[in-house]
Amino acid sequence: MLKGYIPPYNATVVQKLLDQGAVLLGKTNLDEFAMGSGSTDGIFGPVRNPWSYSKQYREKRKQSHHRADEDSNWLITGGSSGGSAAAVSAFTCFAALGSDTGGSTRNPAALCGLVGLKPTYGLVSRYGLIPLVNSMDVPGILTRCVDDAAIVLGVLAGHDPKDSTTTQDPVGPFILPILRDVSKLCIGIPKEYNVPELSSEMQAFWSKAADLFASKGAKVVEVSLPHTSYSIVCYHVLCTAEVASNMARFDGLEYGHRCNVNVSTEAMYAATRREGFNDVVRGRILSGNFFLLRENYDDYFVKAQKVRRLIANDFVKVFNSGVDVLLTPTTLSDAVPYLEFIKEDNRTRSAQDDIFTQSVNMAGLPAVNVPMALSSQGLPVGLQLIGRAFSDQQLLTVAKWFEEQVQFPVIQLQELVDNCPTFSQHEKLGLVSLKR
C-alpha cells in the first residue's frame, strides 16, 4: 500500500536521534503494518534470525545429528519488528527502532537475544509512527544491552507538542545507577502466566530467574492478574476496530499505491485497497468493521473497553500491594523454524505468541525483554520485566542488574569468526557497545 511513498517529514523519534548525531543506516523489514508475530508477512519477504547462522546454534544441530549448514531450516526472528531485531542482533547497527502494540518489540528481542524496551505509553512521541491501535502503540527500542537502551530512551523520551498523548511532566534523565542491593526489591510472579503452552525449558528459566532474585535478597512473591486470559480476546476486538478506522486513510489518492480503476472514487478505493493490503490486514479491517457495526458496538467494542479496564486494574492492584517489578516469560519458547511457523495462520500465531506481552499494552505499562541464556538448541531465551507506569528508569535499573547477573553470551557468527581472528578477544564488546 505504501509502494513508492517517500515520507515528506520525519517521525519525532527519528528526528530526535538525528538531532543527536545518529547515523541512519536504513529501514528494516517487518510484518505488514505491524500485524504479526513472526515478521513473515511483509511485502519484502520473511526475516531470518541471525542466530540461525550462529556457531552456538549450528554446533547444537551437529550434536543432534542434523546438518548444520541446512539453509532451508532457518529460524524466524519473531515480530512484528523482526527486521530491526535482526539488524541489531547481527551487529549491523547500534540500535534500532520498532513499534510495540501487542509485544512487537519484545517478542523479536527475546528470539534474537536482545534488550527490547517498550516504554510507558505517553513517554515517547508517536508522531510519525503509523498508527495501528492509537491507545496502545508505542515506539520500541532494540539494543544489545540495557545501558544502550537507556541512552536511546534518554534521547527519545519527553513531551512532543505534535503528539498530545505525550506526558507534559518532566522526564529523565535515564542514567542507570548500578544496583548493588536488591533486598528492598519486591518481584511479582503472576501465576496466570504459567500457561500450558509454555515450554518446560522456558518455565525452568523463569524459575531460575526468580530464584536468582531471591538468592540475592529480593522478595519474590506470587501475584494474581485474574483477567489475563481475556487479554488476547479483548485485544483482538480493540485492535481490529482501531485498525478498521486507522487503515481508512489508505485510499491511493494522496500517496502510495493506486490501482488503474477509474470508474468511480469508491471503485478506485476498493481496488487499490484490495491490491495494496495483504490478507492479514484485510481480514482485520473486515472484522473490525463488524465489531463496530451499530448493533455490535456495545456488545463487542464497548465490552472490550470494559474488559480493558479490568485488565489495567489488575496491574494497578498488584503494584499497589508492594510489588515493584513483575517477572514473566516473554515468549512461549525459543525461535522456531520458518517452515514450522507458517503452518498456522497469522491470527492464530499472534494469539498464541502475544500472551505474555499483550496485557502490558492494554495497561500502558513499561516492559523490557532481557536476554537470559541460551536454550538447549543454542538459541536465545529472554525474560520480561514489567514496571509501574512511568517507572521506566527503575525498570531499566533492575534489568541492568539482571543482565549483569546472567551474562548472556555474544552471538558467534561463523563468517565473523572465520574472517576476524581477533573476534574472540572482544567477546565482551557486545555487552558494552559504547566505551566512554
Partner 1 sequence: MKRGISEVSHNLWPVASDAPSGAPGRAGPRRDGCGSGGAGSTSRELPFAGSDSEKASGPSPERIEHLERLALVDFRNREGVARLQAAIEFAGQLRAVDTDGVAPMASVLEDRCLYLRADDVVEGSCAEALLQNSQQTVEEYFVPPPGNITLPKQSEQGPVPKS
Q: Does 63 bind partner 1 (CB under 8 A)?
A: no
Site for partner 1, residues 79 to 108, rule: CB under 8 A? none
Q: Does 251 bind partner 1 (CB under 8 A)?
A: yes
Smallest separation (angstroms) from partner 1 to the CB of 117? 18
Smallest separation (angstroms) from partner 1 to the CB of 349? 13
Question: How far, in Å, are 10, 199, 278, 312, 375 from residue 132 at the CA level?
Answer: 18, 30, 15, 20, 33
Smallest separation (angstroms) from partner 1 to the CB of 37? 16
With cell 500465531, the residue in question is 349
Tell which residue, 331, 335, 332, has the closest CA to residue 54: 335
322: phi > 0 → left, psi -120 to 50 → alpha, else beta; which? Answer: left
- In whole angstroms, what is the distance from residue 73 CA to residue 397 CA? 38
Q: Does 15 bind partner 1 (CB under 8 A)?
A: no
The residue from 10, 15, 68, 135 that contacts partner 1 (CB under 8 A) is 135
Selected catalytic residue, list 37, 39, 54, 80: 80
Q: Which stretch binds partner 1 (CB under 8 A): 37-45, 143-151, 229-237, 366-374?
A: 229-237
What are the grid coordinates assigned to 143, written together?
539494543
| Identity of the amino acid at 113 | G
**8 Å CB contact between 270 and 236:** no
The residue from 18, 25, 233, 432 that contacts partner 1 (CB under 8 A) is 233
Q: Which is nearer to partner 1, 175 or 293 (CB)?
A: 293
Q: What count of other Cβ atoms lies within 10 Å of the Cβ of residue 161?
A: 10
Smallest separation (angstroms) from partner 1 to the CB of 267? 6
Q: Does 262 bind partner 1 (CB under 8 A)?
A: yes
What are the grid coordinates assigned to 5, written together?
511513498
For residue 231, the Cα-to-chain-centroid distance in whole angstroms is 17
Helix (H) or strand (E) holding 382: strand 380-387
Selected catalytic residue, list 104, 125, 375, 391: 104
Q: Which is nearer to partner 1, 133 or 383 (CB)?
A: 133
Q: Which is nearer to partner 1, 56 or 246 (CB)?
A: 246
Q: Helix 279-292 vs helix 231-246: angle between axes, to the nearest 10 degrees?
A: 100
Helix (H) or strand (E) holding 156: helix 146-156
Site for partner 1, residues 139 to 178, rule: CB under 8 A? 161-162, 164-165, 167-168
Q: Which stretch binds partner 1 (CB under 8 A): 60-68, 206-214, 286-294, 399-407?
A: 286-294
Q: Which is nearer to partner 1, 208 or 306 (CB)?
A: 306
The residue from 78, 103, 364, 380 that contacts partner 1 (CB under 8 A) is 364
Helix (H, G, I), strand (E, B) or coil at 397: helix
Q: Does 405 bind partner 1 (CB under 8 A)?
A: no
Site for partner 1, residues 325 to 354, rule: CB under 8 A? 345, 347, 351
Site for partner 1, residues 111 to 130, rule: CB under 8 A? 121-122
Q: Which stretch binds partner 1 (CB under 8 A): 86-94, 146-154, 173-181, 280-288?
A: 280-288
The residue from 254, 320, 421, 425 that contacts partner 1 (CB under 8 A) is 254
Smallest separation (angstroms) from partner 1 to the CB of 288? 8
Active-site residue, 224 included = no
Q: Does 5 bind partner 1 (CB under 8 A)?
A: yes
Q: Which stretch binds partner 1 (CB under 8 A): 49-57, 204-212, 275-283, 396-404?
A: 275-283
The residue from 309, 340, 418, 426 that contacts partner 1 (CB under 8 A) is 309
Q: Does 71 bind partner 1 (CB under 8 A)?
A: no
Secondary structure in 3-state letters for 329-380? ECCCCCCCEHHHHCCCCHHHHHHHHCCCCHHHHHHCCCEEEEEEEECCCCCE
Tell which residue, 380, 311, 337, 365, has the closest CA to residue 109: 380
Q: Does 31 bind partner 1 (CB under 8 A)?
A: no
Q: Does 10 bind partner 1 (CB under 8 A)?
A: no
Please list the alpha-helical segments (H only) found in 6-50.
12-19
Question: How far, in Å, are 76, 79, 111, 200, 341 from residue 53 at the CA level?
Answer: 12, 19, 14, 25, 18
Smallest separation (angstroms) from partner 1 to the CB of 406? 31
**8 Å CB contact between 46 and 349:** no
Size of the site for partner 1 (CB under 8 A): 86
Q: Does 224 bind partner 1 (CB under 8 A)?
A: no
Active-site residue, 80 included = yes
Smallest separation (angstroms) from partner 1 to the CB of 53? 34
For residue 430, the Cα-to-chain-centroid distance in whole angstroms is 20
The residue from 74, 206, 213, 291 that contacts partner 1 (CB under 8 A) is 291
- In whole angstroms, what is the distance from residue 436 CA to residue 434 CA? 6
- In whole angstroms, what is the distance from residue 271 CA to residue 252 CA? 9
Active centre residues (catalytic): 80, 104
